[in-house]
């Protein structure tokens, strides 16, 4: 494997959600430890499942993986980091200031911006911790999906510049108080990240045009901020020896090879590895040890016997949704499970019935326009673009608050609005604005991967609590969180694959939503091999492995569910999206 050759001290694995970053990062850690290296594996993903892969509880402290000599692991828990950060800020004033003032400070520190800063604080601490650097030969970072990783890598420079220029206060929701003392730590983190002798960035993608375009954008963004030592892995490629005349396998193999041959030009200059699709789930030590080794071809005689699952098509769920005439439909789940495609399929099905539909996304890596590949009557499409929304918010504040300021005051306000925290407020306002439309039409929202969606919901909850505090008892009001909690107005569809980790992730998300008072309405199992009736031995073995996960969704997790089969042709364009929704 090229990406393992002369591995430096820091290795970062990043890419679009669901491409296999965690499995490859874990397999890399196991491989380096087997070579006698001392290795620390760190997850910075809000939806981390490193512990699930190894079958042990890890959490927010360095944990020895006893089954792998030389390997330790750590999961940065954003919520725990944020709570510790809040305690550091609020602790010294508790008991000194009135309770109402302390409560107001705590509410200001409850937003997603505080969570991001706190997690980033721990991230930079790991990069610059002299004890860790000495103790371990390699520190491997399993990062959050692409958009959040770019944000994380930009933050050391963004916050260093922000502090150097003396900016900030009013546009942030209170989290800047502890940053100035970290100035030298952030500079050291920037230096480490941009040093090719110390840091290697491994871009992980699937052999799909959209995934490769996304990773090409990531490559260019990383290069632009000074991180040039990059490698490419295309994961889960269907092996040539596993086709065995199966039409589905032949179609998958052909479209993957076409995507690799036509990958964007910037990616062709990178050192490049392919990792074969495996018949087994990538959970457990033995599976990790096999991931980076050549595969053995399965013979037709080894094909596994199984019975295809019985389930409703996605269109049957849409029939029930359509009866209300309007409302918010949110598709949530782990990155890479196909939320964008399924959101488009739901929107197309509703529009096909003559219902007005607004299809939108809060995922920075979404490709709604590419998925639709055209337009149709009754359907409008939009995207919550963080950069555009932030620019709009800044201009609005300048127009309103800056109108009466002198030149010096306006300059100070403009500096304040360059705070990285401003984006949190802008995106939340855009989210709130769009969901209000669901009172008169259908709004179908393709959300960002799990962790980022929960951060957005945190901001929604913080706003709700602040409104409730200010309005007091007896006052009538409606907040976005109240709309999300009302099943008559909002239907949440949890999207998963029929694999161990995505199902566990969706179940955890369901628990988080329930704690927020939001009850998921249905589950959708996407890209099911078992529902596609394959003939290839590799696909039949994968189909057999899906059945316990489908049963778990049907019997333990979901009130209602649909199973969408893996298709020979990618579901791109209105016609294929309609077909996708009606297949079962």
What residues are annotated to the active site?
A: 18, 20-23, 45, 501
Question: Cα(467)–Cα(514) distance, rounded to whole angstroms?
Answer: 21
CA atoms within 13 A on the CB side of 298: 22
Residue indicated by tokens 């994380």:
152
Contact 161, 229 (CB under 8 A): no
Structure tokens at 175: 């989290």
- Helix (H), strand (E), coil (C) string for 498-565: CCHHHHHHHHHHHHHHHHCCCCCCEEEEEEECHHHCCCCHHHHHHHHHHHHHHHHHHHHHCCCEEEEE
Question: Cα(457)–Cα(473) distance, rounded to whole angstroms?
Answer: 23
Comparing CA positions, the residue from 474, 499, 478 lying closest to residue 490 is 478
Q: In a 3-state reduction of DSSP, which class is residue 363?
A: coil
Comparing CA positions, the residue from 363, 415, 378, 372 lying closest to residue 394 is 415
List % helix, strand, coil for the chain (3-state, nearest 5).
Answer: 50, 15, 35
Q: Are strands 199-206 and 39-43 parallel, antiparallel or unpaired?
A: unpaired
> Hey, CA dihedral for 67, 68, 70, 71, is it positive or negative?
negative
Structure tokens at 315: 């269109």
Q: In a 3-state reduction of DSSP, which class is residue 313?
A: coil
**Helix ranges, 91-208 (H):** 99-108, 112-128, 130-135, 146-164, 183-193
Question: Cα(81)–Cα(122) distance, rounded to whole angstroms?
Answer: 8
Sequence-separated (6 or more) residues with CB below 8 Å from residue 354 = 378
H/E run at residue 360: strand 357-361
Contact 3, 233 (CB under 8 A): yes
Q: Which residues make beta-bridge pairs with 72?
A: 40, 64
Question: Cα(139)–Cα(130) distance, rounded to whole angstroms?
Answer: 12
Q: In a 3-state reduction of DSSP, which class is residue 94?
A: strand
Question: Cα(475)–Cα(143) distance, rounded to whole angstroms?
Answer: 44
Contact 431, 384 (CB under 8 A): yes
Q: In a 3-state reduction of DSSP, which class is residue 63?
A: strand
């Amino acid at each position: 494997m090229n990406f393992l050759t002369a591995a430096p001290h820091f290795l970062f694995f990043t890419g679009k959600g669901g491409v296999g970053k965690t499995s490859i990062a874990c397999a890399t850690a196991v491989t380096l430890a087997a070579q006698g290296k001392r290795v620390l594996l760190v997850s910075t993903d809000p939806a981390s499942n490193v512990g699930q892969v190894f079958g042990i509880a890890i959490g927010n402290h360095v944990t020895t993986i006893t089954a792998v000599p030389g390997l330790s692991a750590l999961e940065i828990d954003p919520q725990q980091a944020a709570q510790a950060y809040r305690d550091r800020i609020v602790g010294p004033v508790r008991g000194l200031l009135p309770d109402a003032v302390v409560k107001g400070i705590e509410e200001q520190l409850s937003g997603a911006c505080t969570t991001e800063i706190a997690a980033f604080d721990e991230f930079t601490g790991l990069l610059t911790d002299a004890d860790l650097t000495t103790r371990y030969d390699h520190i491997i970072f399993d990062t959050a999906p692409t958009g959040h990783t770019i944000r994380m890598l930009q933050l050391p420079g963004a916050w260093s510049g922000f502090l150097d220029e003396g900016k900030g206060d009013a546009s942030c929701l209170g989290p800047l108080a502890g940053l100035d003392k970290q100035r030298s730590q952030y500079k050291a983190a920037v230096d480490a990240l941009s040093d090719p002798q110390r840091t290697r960035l491994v871009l992980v993608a699937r052999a799909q045009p959209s995934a490769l375009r996304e990773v090409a954008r990531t490559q260019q963004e990383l290069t632009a901020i000074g991180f040039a030592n990059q490698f490419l892995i295309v994961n889960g490629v269907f092996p040539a020896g596993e086709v065995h005349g199966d039409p589905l396998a032949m179609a998958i193999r052909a479209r993957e090879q076409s995507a690799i041959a036509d990958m964007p030009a910037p990616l062709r200059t990178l050192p490049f590895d392919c990792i074969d699709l495996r018949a087994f789930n990538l959970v457990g030590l033995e599976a990790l040890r096999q991931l980076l080794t050549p595969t053995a071809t399965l013979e037709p005689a080894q094909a596994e016997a199984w019975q295809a699952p019985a389930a409703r098509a996605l269109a049957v769920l849409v029939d029930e949704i359509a009866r209300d005439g309007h409302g918010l439909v949110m598709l949530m789940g782990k990155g890479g499970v196909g939320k964008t495609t399924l959101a488009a399929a739901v929107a197309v099905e509703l529009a096909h019935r003559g219902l007005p539909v607004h299809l939108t996304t809060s995922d920075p890596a979404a490709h709604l326009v590419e998925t639709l590949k055209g337009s149709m009557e009754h359907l409008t499409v939009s995207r919550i673009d963080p950069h555009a929304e932030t620019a709009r918010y800044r201009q609005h504040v300048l127009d309103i608050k800056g109108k009466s300021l002198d030149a010096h005051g306006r300059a100070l306000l403009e500096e304040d609005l360059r705070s990285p925290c401003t984006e949190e407020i802008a995106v939340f306002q855009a989210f709130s604005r769009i969901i209000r439309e669901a009172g008169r039409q259908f709004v179908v929202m393709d959300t960002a991967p799990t962790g980022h969606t929960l951060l957005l919901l945190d901001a929604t909850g913080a706003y709700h609590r602040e409104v409730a505090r200010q309005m007091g008892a007896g006052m009538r009001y409606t907040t976005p969180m109240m709309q999300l909690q009302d099943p008559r107005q909002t239907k949440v569809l949890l999207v998963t694959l029929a694999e161990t980790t995505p199902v566990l992730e969706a179940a955890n998300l369901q628990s988080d939503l329930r704690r927020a008072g939001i009850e998921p309405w249905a589950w959708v199992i996407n890209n099911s091999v078992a529902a596609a009736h394959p003939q290839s031995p590799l696909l039949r073995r994968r189909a057999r492995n899906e059945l316990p996960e489908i049963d778990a969704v049907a019997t333990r997790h979901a009130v209602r569910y649909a199973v969408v089969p893996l298709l020979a042709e990618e579901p791109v364009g209105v016609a294929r999206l309609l077909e996708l929704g009606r297949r079962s």
